[in-house]
Amino acid sequence: MATLISKISLLSNPKLIHHRRRNFTLLSRSAAATAISRANKRKALEKEKEKRRTRSDKEIDKDALIDLYNSNNLHNPNHIPVMLPQVLDVFSNSFLNSFVDCTLGAAGHSTAVIRGHPELKYFVGMDVDPVAREMAQTRLNSVLHGRESSVRVFTVLRNFRHIKSVLGEMGEQDLEVDGILMDLGMSSMQVDDPQRGFSVLGDGPLDMRMDPQASLTAEDVLNSWPDSEVGRILREYGEESNWRTLQKKIVEARVHGGLHSTGDLLDLIRSVTPAMRGGRQGCIKTATRVFQALRIAVNDELKTLEDSLYSCFDCLAPGGRLAVISFHSLEDRIVKQTFLEIIKGRDDDGDRGSCNNDLGKTSDEIKEKEAWIRHTIHGSNGIILTKRPITPSEEEETLNRRSRSAKLRVIQKL
């Protein structure tokens, strides 16, 4: 009893209470200072990243976009072709006898390129989505109607990894291409259709096939692939830090019948996403990473991209350009590294001297002729015209939020 009274006496001591309050205040100030320091570091990193960006200063011609679609689709930013002014700049000073759009989509980029190059003789549009091809064909026909110069148009349902065989089937022997475009983003037709299974915002089947004729689906991956493979794609393709817990829950779900809809997968993600990680927004971000990982695995996107970059470069004519728009770090890293490997060549001896014709002009001459080119990298086989990727202007990011993560890289063949 005496001990208890002693403790109560100590706790009620004004000096002791003041001392504890002071310590608590000091701890609170220390925690606040740490939080402020971390916030300042984050801001500094963001500023540094922004400083390193090669942001385009190209203005958006809204009237031209309206005219491009002959409708009011400008009010639906999902249908605006990403970085269209920048793509047109890439090919504006080139004589295009032939052009290939490896990811035709709704033909937004292609119709603008065709309009800007009356000299064009051959156009090839490739896509694995029959709905996209049908829409693109309608728009291409509209642009070509009444056109004075003749251009042969080929639209094919093939993946861009088959570009060499597609060009070989055109009946033109040894045709070398002057311009090639790859826009690796998802089209609105695919994202907005819940039956395709790409969107985290609508319930639909766990499909995620870019090519509807392909056999593998996201449902197959989630319910049939080995545990370790499921974890690997979440970690490597989704860059998801919580991949172990997600892998465990996915495997557990198989015991109870598996996952068969995007709704099922979203419910699972919600169950393992702590509320402290941003609530609903945190869940959506996790879901976006998981969906990205599954989509990449289902369509074998990264290996296809790497192989296709080499094939596209092989198909270029001397002086021809390949432009690639990527939308996440995994894609951009592959484009960057593959471009560097391409320009080295198999027998690169380090000689980066100029050629005897216009293709060997120096970096300064290139930049003087084309203002959008800022820093280049020369190799024995080609020139990377974008040492740093070009990113959308602030105006475009405001107009089309899906463009925010876009990065444009360009390579020219010698």
Other C-beta atoms closer than 10 Å to the C-beta of 94 total 17
* Domain layout of the chain by residue ranges: 2-52, 62-183+302-413, 194-299
Chain centre to alpha carbon of residue 374? 22
C-alpha 85/C-alpha 71 separation (Å) is 19
Q: Is the pTM of this model over 0.95?
A: no
| Average pLDDT of span 133-153 | 85
Q: What is the structure's pLDDT at 75?
A: 40
The Cα angle at residue 255 between residues 250 and 261, in degrees rounded to 5: 55
Residue with tokens 């470069």: 313
Superfamily of domain 194-299: Putative methyltransferase TM0872, insert domain (1.10.150.170)
| Average pLDDT of span 207-228 | 96
Q: What is the structure's pLDDT at 405?
A: 93
Stretch (H or E) spanning 152: strand 152-157
Lowest-pLDDT choice from 24-33, 183-192, 211-220: 24-33
List residues bridging with 179 in a β-sheet.
99, 321
Other C-beta atoms closer than 10 Å to the C-beta of 127 total 26
The Cα angle at residue 99 between residues 94 and 105, in degrees rounded to 5: 125
Chain centre to alpha carbon of residue 176? 27
Residue with tokens 């003041």: 18
Tokens of 41: 């570091």
Q: Is 240 left (phi over 0), alpha (psi -120 to 50) or beta?
A: beta
Tokens of 278: 């941003």
Residue 190 has pLDDT above 90, yes or no: no
Per-residue pLDDT band at 243 (split at 50, 70, 90): very high
Specify the CATH number for 62-183+302-413; select among 3.40.1050.10, 3.40.50.1220, 3.40.50.12780, 3.40.50.150.
3.40.50.150
Q: How many Cα neighbours within 13 Å face the side chain of 203?
A: 6
Q: What is the structure's pLDDT at 411?
A: 98
The DSSP bridge pattern shows strands 54-55 and 377-378 to be unpaired
C-alpha 286/C-alpha 39 separation (Å) is 22
Q: What is the structure's pLDDT at 171?
A: 77
Residue with tokens 């894609």: 331
What residues contact residue 121 under an 8 Å CB cut-off, 6+ apart? 97, 98, 150, 151, 152
- Give yes or no for a contact between 335 and 305, defined as CB atoms under 8 angstroms apart: yes
Q: What is the structure's pLDDT at 349?
A: 43
Interior/surface letters 299-330, b for 16+ CB within 10 angstroms, e for the rest: bebbeebbebbebbbebbeebbbbbbbbbbeb
Residue 350 has pLDDT above 80, yes or no: no
Q: What is the structure's pLDDT at 254?
A: 97
Amino acid at 172: E
Per-residue pLDDT band at 376 (split at 50, 70, 90): very high
- Give yes or no for a contact between 99 and 122, defined as CB atoms under 8 angstroms apart: yes
Q: What is the pLDDT of residues 46-95, one digit of tens each?
A: 555 555 567 766 666 555 554 544 443 434 444 679 999 999 999 999 99
